Amino acid sequence: MLATCAHGIPLRSARGAKAGVGTRWQSGSMSAPLDGILVIDLSRALAGPQAGQMLGDMGARVIKVESDTGDDTRGWGPPFVGPDDAHISTYFLAANRNKESIVLDLKSDDGRDVLTRLAQRADVLIENFRPGVLGRLGFSTQRLHELNPRLVVLSISGFGHDGPEGGRAGYDQIAQGEAGLMSVTGSDPDDPQRVGVPIGDLLSGMNGAFGVVTALYERERTGLGRVVRTSLLASVIGAHAMHGTNYLVGGKVGRAQGNHHPSIAPYGLFQASDGPVQVACAAESLWVKFAEAFGIDPTTSGFETNRQRVENRDAVVARVNEALAGHTSEEVLATCARVGVPSGKVRTIDEVYTWDQVASQHLLQKLDHPVLGQITVPGSPLRFDDNPYAGGRADNLPPPGLGEHSQAIRTWLADDE
């Protein structure tokens, strides 16, 4: 007998999937890329849950294991939505769709027993405890692989699982500062700023999900799982891009310089008569087109090449702002479009979600929430050519209530013995 969750969807056993036989659960009328993959998500806050959500978006069945107080983000707000006696954090809604929730006390015999049975059936286990905590609970990576040699374990930490500072707690803004990102973000070197979203957490989740699918692919050849590790520190440093090679190879230390590219000019935020616009002259031909369209001599001394323009950035920015001051932002954007120079607005969040281009890319996802009714959330950034939806599945589930699926999951485990 196959149990069903609160949404009426079959609760799959991963045993058949691992053996290459059995029922293949499908998302709506089509098979999702990760159908048959069972993920146990022990993580909380954002980095681990983001990885779990990405796997769930691709069709994996994701079981979120929570304490009786729930994921920390259930209490992060305002804003909260819903009735007074059932406030729901919009922060939690951001990283927990396509999951089921079971409440377990991992310090109790019952909690450890249920997690043991889940680990034996799972393909993936995600955790972001401080290094060593999961081992003290009785689930070291060695023990997990004794229970299930095919298990892929994703471990996300703040600063790495080893090294002189491997035990440090990791929070996004702290990692942004420690990993150098804040030093290259802001109006100038004396104005370090964090990125406006928790980018360290999000990148760690993305890197973790990529590591998981890589390990699952490898498992097809070896039959064995492995431990995948990433951290906020590693993920932010991995996103340094040219700032990393500028220093390591070129010996140049990057500094915050506002809304202008460190290696290309003009490329950044400029002022039209009624507000800001962004222009990117990332090739010499684009610079010539842009300059001629706005009455600037592209051969002005010090402006002839990109290298010269970067060296004389202040003068270039001043000249471009002077040229654009006689035009509205819409006029600037229309002229740039006509001559083929990349440009754009600076939209507020509400403007983004009411933009028809965003809707056309299926980046708005409607979910039927048991408390809130129909809600709209940002959709998966991935699309597949045979799927009209964003993401890999057609039957996306709302973020779960705390322990919403506890009984159904226990019933499934008992039936699957």
Choose among 250, 284, 246: nearest CA to 266: 284
Collapse the DSSP code of 375 into the 3-class scheme (helix H, G, I; strand E, B; otherwise coil) and give the result: strand
* Type of residue found at 407: Q
Question: Tokens 């323009």 belong to which residue?
Answer: 309
The rounded distance, in Å, linking the Cα atoms of 393 and 37 is 13
In three state form, how does the secondary structure of 382-414 look? Answer: CECCCCCCECCCCCCCCCCCCCCCHHHHHHHHH
The rounded distance, in Å, linking the Cα atoms of 106 and 114 is 9
Our answer to whether residue 123 is catalytic in this structure is no
Phi-psi label, residue 172: left if phi above 0, alpha if psi -120 to 50, beta otherwise: alpha
Q: Which of 41, 57, 172, 201 is catalytic?
A: 201
Q: Where are any strands of DSSP class E within 258-335?
A: 267-272, 275-280
Dihedral sign for Cα 266, 270, 272, 276, please: positive
Q: How far is CA 326 from each of CA 244, 280, 343, 356, 396, rounded to the nearest angstrom? A: 39, 19, 17, 29, 49
DSSP designation for 129: P
Catalytic residue IDs: 201
